[in-house]
Amino acid sequence: MELGWLLWGAAVLLLLHVLMGLSPAVNFALRIGFYSFLCLLASALTAPVCLLVNGGRTVKNMRIIRAVVRTFKYFFGLRFEVKGLENFKVEGPAIIVSNHQSILDMMGLMEILPDNCVQVAKKELMYAGTVGLIIYLGGVIFINRKSTTDAKMVMAEVAKSMTADNVKVWVYPEGTRNCTGDLLPFKKGAFHIAVQAQVPVIPVVYSSFTSFYNPKTKLFTSGKIKVEVLPPIETKGLTSDDVSDLTDRCFHTMRETLFRLSGRPSESKKSS
Ligand SMILES: CCCCCCCCCCCCCCC(=O)SCCNC(=O)CCNC(=O)[C@H](O)C(C)(C)COP(=O)(O)OP(=O)(O)OC[C@H]1O[C@@H](n2cnc3c(N)ncnc32)[C@H](O)[C@@H]1OP(=O)(O)O
Ligand SMILES: CCCCCCCC/C=C\CCCCCCCC(=O)OC[C@@H](O)COP(=O)(O)O
């Protein structure tokens, strides 16, 4: 109940701010604060529902989490324009890879998240209060980014279990947030899993947030995000020797798509 009042308080503050035209830095802090608060509050309210409906840690909880997070965009005036959802309709498991710009990505993730799909996350998120609890309940796979050996072991397990459990796995191959309008070089974990499990890689690209969100300039307004789910890339018959090529191929396809969706001339066009 008290949390409910806090939420309304934050919403009123946000409205007041918009009306009074506070500085961009205050606007940014208020909006990010409100987003974090919303995530923590929604997680606290959703966790008992997940426990009651599904009894514990299971990917089935992602459907409940998805329904809740899909409402967040209305608070921030964000719109998603999605293309290519039919590319998720592959038989059986797959690795989904996408670009990662901000903590706001959770809204874009849930906007298109297919059923039976878990994400790979840094283990530190487990300790993010109620958000940690809800992502644990949703079956998120936690990795220790500081230890490649540990992370590789967890990922090898994922490669074995995803086929048996028929789940899709969502990985952010940049390995960290990057809001520059470009991609960071890809880490190879996702592509190793795909080859080990012999499952397709489905690339997903979100247009650059920089026109409405930029932590450096403290910009955070409403905006439109274009999303494209690209055709699956098959890995049948590939071996660990092909992982670097597969990673490069995926990187270049996604970079071209990112530039196109963001209205930025691609490198090849610039040089011609
Ligand atoms: C109600 C409200 C709720 C709101 C909330 C709802 C939330 C939903 C949950 C969403 C959570 C999202 C969280 C997002 C994140 O946390 S992103 C950060 C974590 N993810 C990643 O880091 C994934 C990407 N990283 C990788 O895949 C890395 O490769 C990693 C496995 C971590 C290893 O790291 P690193 O050593 O830095 O990477 P390299 O790629 O350079 O690899 C080094 C060498 O190891 C080889 N390698 C890598 N992986 C494997 C493997 N699985 N098997 C075998 N070999 C592997 C790799 O080839 C390199 O060797 P070579 O150079 O090729 O010789
Ligand atoms: C009792 C402890 C209380 C802790 C409170 C923590 C407050 C945080 C609460 C809400 C923030 C909303 C988080 C939504 C989930 C975001 C997932 C995400 O985007 O993680 C970033 C990760 O991919 C990469 O991390 P880095 O860019 O390498 O860094």
Report field, pTM of the whole predicted structure over 0.90:
yes
Which percentage of the chain shows pLDDT scores above 90? Answer: 86
Nearest 5°: the CA angle 183, 66, 182 is 10
Closest C-alpha to 75, from 107, 29, 40:
107
ipTM field: 0.95
Q: Across the chain, what does the average pLDDT equal? A: 93
CA of 100 to the centre of ligand 1 (A): 12
Ligand 1: does its nearest atom lie under 6 Å from the Cβ of 148? Answer: yes
Both tokens assigned to 229: 């789910």
Closest C-alpha to 36, from 111, 124, 126, 131:
131
pLDDT of 264 reads: 85
Ligand 2: does its nearest atom lie under 6 Å from the Cβ of 103? Answer: yes
**Each residue's pLDDT tens digit, 18-44:** 655 667 888 899 999 999 999 999 999
CA of 128 to the centre of ligand 2 (A): 6
* Domain spans of the chain, in order of start: 2-271
Instruction: Please name the fold of domain 2-271.
Output: Glycerol-3-phosphate (1)-acyltransferase (3.40.1130)
Expressed in percent and rounded to 5, the helix, strand and coil fractions of the chain are 55, 15, 30
Residues of the chain scoring pLDDT < 50: 271-272
pLDDT of 17 reads: 64
**Each residue's pLDDT tens digit, 203-234:** 999 999 999 999 999 999 999 999 999 999 99
**Each residue's pLDDT tens digit, 234-248:** 999 999 999 999 999
